[in-house]
C-alpha cells in the first residue's frame, strides 16, 4: 500500500468521522492517526472503528496509547500533537489534516476573550497553518457543527459521542453549552464574515517580518507588545503554545529566558532571537565568533550543534 502525503488526526467523533468520509468523497489521499487515552468506556471501541475504516478503505493507521497521570485538555493535546509530529517526521508526511470547525473557532474566541486577549490570541486557528516541517490543513474550518451533523445524518455515517464534552465543570464545555452553540445556530453567517475580516486585519497587523535559518528566528526590536506577539507566533511554529504567565516572564526578563526547557529566547541591543534550547559545550573560537556577531548566549547551543551559518 502506497503511503499518502496527508495524515488525518482521527478520533471517531462527530467531526473527524465526517472528515474521513469527506476526504474519501473528494478523492483526497490520506492515512490516519488516533490516540487512545483510555478515559472512556468506548475508547477501545473507537480505536477498533478506526482500524476497520482503515482496513476497508486501504489506509495506513497509526495508534498511540496515551496514559496521563491527570487528564486535562492541555496534556491530552500535547500528547496528541507530539505523536502526530513524530509520525510526520518519521514517515515524511507533508500535511496534518484536522477536523476543527466553526464552533471550535468560536469557542476558542470566547475563551480567550474571557481571559483578556489580543487579536493574535483571539484568532489563533487558521485554515492553513505552516509549522516547521509540515502544514496543518483544516477543511471544515468554516463549517458549523450543525452542518457537519447534517452531513453525517444524510450519509448514514457512524460516529461516537464523547460524553465528557457535556461536563460543564470544564470551561470550554461551559462556554459551548451556554453561549457558543446557540449563538452559531442563530448567527452563523455573520460569525463567518466577522472571522474573515478579523483574519485579514491580523495579516496586515502581524506581518511575519523576521529572518530564519533552520529553526533559528530573529527580528529587529520594535516595541514590547509587538515583539511578544511575534515571539508567540514563532513559539507556536516551534511547537509551544505560550501561556499568559510565560509571555509575562519573557517581558519581565527583557527577552532573555528559556520556556519549558525547550525554547530559548534571547536578545541584544537591537534584535531578538528564538530557537530550540540546547545546552552543550562550545569551543572558544565559536564563542568569540558569536560575541563579535552579537549573538546572545541562550541560542548559541542550537547554532553550534546544528552548525547554523549566520
Q: Residue 32's closest CA among 77, 99, 104?
A: 99
Give the model confidence (pLDDT) of 46-73 as tens digits: 999 999 999 999 999 999 999 988 878 8
Paired strand residues for 35: 64
Cell of 245: 504567565
Q: How wide is the angle at C-alpha 49 spanned by C-alphas 47 and 54, nearest 5°? A: 95
Please say whether the beta carbons of 124 and 85 come within 8 A: no
Q: Residue 136's closest CA among 275, 229, 8?
A: 8
- What are the phi and psi torsion angles at 49 (to 5°)? -60, -45
Q: Residue 4's closest CA among 25, 34, 30?
A: 30
Distance (Å, rounded) from C-alpha 224 to C-alpha 306? 29
Burial of 225 by CB count in 10 Å (0-12 exposed, 13-18 middle, 19+ buried)? Answer: exposed
Provide mean pLDDT across the span 164-191: 90
Q: Residue 123's closest CA among 21, 10, 203?
A: 203
Give the model confidence (pLDDT) of 111-146 as tens digits: 999 988 888 789 888 999 988 899 999 999 999 999
Average pLDDT, the chain: 92
Distance (Å, rounded) from C-alpha 29 to C-alpha 306? 34
Give the model confidence (pLDDT) of 225-271 as tens digits: 889 989 998 998 898 989 989 999 999 999 999 999 999 999 999 99
Domains in the chain: ranges and CATH: 6-200 (3.40.50.620), 211-305 (no CATH)
E strand residue ranges, the chain: 6-10, 31-36, 61-65, 95-97, 128-130, 135-137, 211-213, 216-220, 257-259, 263-267, 271-276
Confidence of residue 4 (pLDDT cuts 50, 70, 90): low
pTM: 0.72
| CA end-to-end span of the chain | 43
Cell of 247: 509571555
Please say whether the beta carbons of 112 and 247 come within 8 A: no
| Cα Rg of the chain (Å, integer) | 21
Provide mean pLDDT across the span 157-162: 93
For the chain, what percent of residues have pLDDT higher than 70?
97
pLDDT above 50 for 1: no
Amino acid at each position: 500500500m502506497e503511503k499518502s502525503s496527508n495524515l488525518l488526526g482521527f478520533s471517531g467523533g462527530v467531526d473527524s468521522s465526517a472528515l474521513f468520509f469527506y476526504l474519501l468523497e473528494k478523492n483526497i489521499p490520506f492515512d490516519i492517526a488516533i490516540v487512545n487515552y483510555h478515559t472512556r468506556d468506548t475508547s477501545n471501541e473507537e480505536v477498533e472503528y478506526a482500524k476497520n475504516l482503515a482496513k476497508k478503505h486501504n489506509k495506513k493507521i497509526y495508534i498511540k496509547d496515551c496514559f496521563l497521570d491527570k487528564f486535562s485538555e492541555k496534556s491530552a493535546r500535547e500528547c496528541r500533537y507530539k505523536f502526530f509530529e513524530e509520525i510526520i517526521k518519521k514517515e515524511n508526511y507533508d500535511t496534518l489534516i484536522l477536523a476543527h470547525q466553526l464552533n471550535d473557532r468560536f469557542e476558542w474566541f470566547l475563551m480567550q476573550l474571557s481571559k483578556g486577549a489580543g487579536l493574535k490570541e483571539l484568532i489563533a486557528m487558521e485554515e492553513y497553518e505552516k509549522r516547521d516541517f509540515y502544514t496543518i490543513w483544516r477543511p471544515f474550518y468554516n463549517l458549523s457543527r450543525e452542518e457537519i451533523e447534517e452531513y453525517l445524518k444524510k450519509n448514514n455515517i457512524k460516529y461516537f459521542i464523547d460524553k465528557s464534552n457535556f461536563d460543564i465543570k470544564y470551561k470550554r464545555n461551559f462556554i459551548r453549552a451556554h453561549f457558543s452553540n446557540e449563538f452559531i445556530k442563530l448567527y452563523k453567517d455573520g460569525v463567518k464574515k466577522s472571522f474573515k475580516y478579523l483574519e485579514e486585519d491580523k495579516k496586515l497587523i502581524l506581518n511575519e517580518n523576521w529572518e530564519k535559518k533552520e529553526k533559528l528566528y530573529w527580528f529587529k526590536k520594535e516595541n514590547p507588545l509587538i515583539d511578544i506577539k511575534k515571539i508567540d507566533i514563532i513559539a507556536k511554529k516551534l511547537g509551544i503554545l505560550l501561556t499568559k504567565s510565560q509571555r509575562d516572564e519573557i517581558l519581565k526578563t527583557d527577552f532573555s529566558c528559556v520556556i519549558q526547557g525547550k525554547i530559548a529566547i534571547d536578545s541584544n541591543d537591537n534584535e531578538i532571537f528564538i530557537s530550540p534550547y540546547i545546552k552543550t559545550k562550545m569551543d572558544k573560537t565559536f564563542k568569540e565568533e558569536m560575541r563579535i556577531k552579537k549573538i546572545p548566549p541562550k541560542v548559541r547551543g542550537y547554532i553550534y550543534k546544528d552548525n547554523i551559518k549566520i
